[in-house]
Structure 1
Amino acid sequence: MATTAPRQFNSKSPTIRRILREAHELATSPSPDYHASPLETDLFEWHFTLRGPPNSPFEEGIYHGRISLPPTYPYRPPSFRFLTPSGRFETNREICLSISGHHEETWQPAWGVRTALVALRSFMETDAKGQLGGLEAGEEVRRRLAKESRTWRCGVCGGGKTNGEILEEWEEKVRELEKEGKGAVKEEKVPEELRLAWRDELVGGKKGGDKDGESDGESARLAEGFVQTAPAEKETTAIAAQPATGGPPRAQTTSSSTAPVTTQPETRPLPVQTQPQPQQQLAMQQPRADEDNVTLWLDRLIVAVAVLLVAVILKVLLG
């Protein structure tokens, strides 16, 4: 697979330069466990080949898939699809992971395709737990698919080579670099932020659809720095306005308001809303009165103790 930019791309674009730099780095500092490069016809469409994680049902497998980079890469994360059956991910369906476009809030522009491949390889060992694009399969099925995956061929890239043949070439290149004294690239570890995000997703998946809806809204707000959206901006404004006023919530959050709204032009609901106000004020004043009584009692007790101490001291001095 070629790593040079086609003529239709602007090589002066920061995104194109970043993609070319990553492709060159993966080609010149290879890993024996994975490889990825863009297609000759589309720099934003990558194909990857990776070895299954060790000490797992996937350890004998070699899997192939696609990486789609967004036009604003690396400020937004890529998306992933597995093309080789694995028993862990559905084939040719976008995967929902903390490194994918489904979770922009956990992506950092400093990460790249290599980071994503290392994380993707480690995520194969986790349970699907209802994850989008995930599959639950028995260990025997996954081991059988792992053995079959080595002879799988991609019809788009690789020149008709099998997954096993592709990785064998890069293993040979790593050995040549080691003989020259350059050695293989230092294996990158999964960033702690991604591991924490993955654990959060597993916990969130057990709480049901309501939690999923909240996480989607939070993702939109956290991704505001990358792509501005009108709904996210309104939600952020409403949330920021409440603590800034120091008073009761505005009319936009009437479901949680505890005091009448005096700034609304419509006056019809005011009599209904003002009825519970004395009770609310009484409920607020009652604990304050109790606190005042306790404070007054403590003050009197302190004065009495001080008088007794003075009397005892005078008695001792006057003998």
Structure 2
Amino acid sequence: MGSQKRIAKELSELTASPPDGITVTLLDEANLYEWKVLMEGPEGSPYQGGIFQIRLVLPTEYPFKPPTVSFATKIYHPNVTNDDKGSMCLGMLRPDEWKPSSKIGAVLEFARQLLAEPMPDDAIEGRIAEQYKNDNKRYDEIAREWTRKHANKT
């Protein structure tokens, strides 16, 4: 029961004063464990102007186990899988690195920061990471194109 209380508290804090460029709602009012997050692409990044939908799923053992964060919107990024799952690779969400004191708001801010500054050395899409490192101009073009195609404001 403690996890529900903490989740409700974090949800109300994030709804009342969301981090920059992030909007949080419940996917289903009856389910506290699944959140729908809308994230604006950060200014100056190839994702600028896009709105990305992110699924955040909290385990019943939260805060002792980390949430899972995945992109519902397709995104061209070295730290997000290029498939329908859109799984995001975030160091702080690994079970061995997760701390119960971590807050969901911090997770979301870190995720948005990752859009502005990808971490190619911690990539799950190796080909995209290589391109980011070796042909950044082309990476930016493709990321911008995907943002226009998949993350337009509708």
Range into which the TM-score falls when normalised by the shorter chain: 0.7 to 0.9
Q: Distance in 2 between matches of 1:32 and 1:123?
A: 14
> What's the counterpart of residue 131 of structure 1?
123
1:93 equivalent in alignment to 2:86: yes
Alpha-carbon shift at residue 31 of structure 1 (Å):
3.7
Deviation at 1:135, TM superposition (A): 6.7
What does the per-residue CA deviation read over 1:176-220, in whole Å, with 9 as the maximum and x for residues that have no partner?
xxxxxxxxxxxxxxxxxxxxxxxxxxxxxxxxxxxxxxxxxxxxx
SS in 1 for 2:7: helix
User: What letter matches 1:49 in structure 2?
Assistant: L
Higher relative contact order (CA 8 A, sep 6+): 2
For residue 65 of structure 2, what is the aligned residue in structure 1?
Answer: 76
Q: In 2, distance between residues paired with 1:48 and 1:127?
A: 22
- Larger mean CA deviation between 86-95 and 133-142 belongs to 133-142
Say if 2:16 is the partner of 1:23: no
State the shift of 1:130 in Å: 6.8
Scaled by the length of structure 2, the TM-score of the pair is 0.78
Which AA in structure 1 matches 2:7?
A: I
Count of residues paired in the alignment: 138
**5+ residue gaps in structure 1?**
1-12, 152-161, 163-319
Q: How much has 1:20 moved relative to structure 2?
A: 0.6
Give the 5 Å matches for 1:110-259. Answer: 110-124=101-115, 125-129=117-121, 131-132=123-124, 136=128, 138-148=139-149, 149-151=151-153, 162=154
Mapped contact 1:65–1:81 kept (Cα < 8 A)? yes
SS in 1 for 2:44: coil
**CA distance, structure 1, for counterparts of residue 63 and residue 125 of structure 2:** 23
What TM-score do you get using the length of structure 1 for normalisation? 0.40
**Deviations 1:33-71 (CA, angstroms, capped at 9, x unpaired):** 001232223211111111122222112222111011111
Q: Which residue of 1 aligns with 2:135?
A: none
Structure 2: how far apart are the matches of 1:134 and 1:113?
27
Report the structure, 1 or 2, having the larger helix content: 1
Letter in 2 for 1:94: S
SS in 2 for 1:96: coil
Pair 1:133–1:65, CA change in 2 (3 A): farther
Q: Which residue of 1 aligns with 2:134?
A: none
5+ unaligned residues in a row in structure 2: which ranges? 132-138
What is the letter of the counterpart of residue 73 of structure 2?
Answer: T
Q: Percent identity?
A: 28
The one-letter code sitting in structure 2 at the alignment partner of 1:147 is: R
Label 1:130 to 1:27 Cα distance change in 2 as closer, same or farther (>3 A). Answer: closer
User: What is the SS of the residue equivalent to 1:140?
Assistant: helix
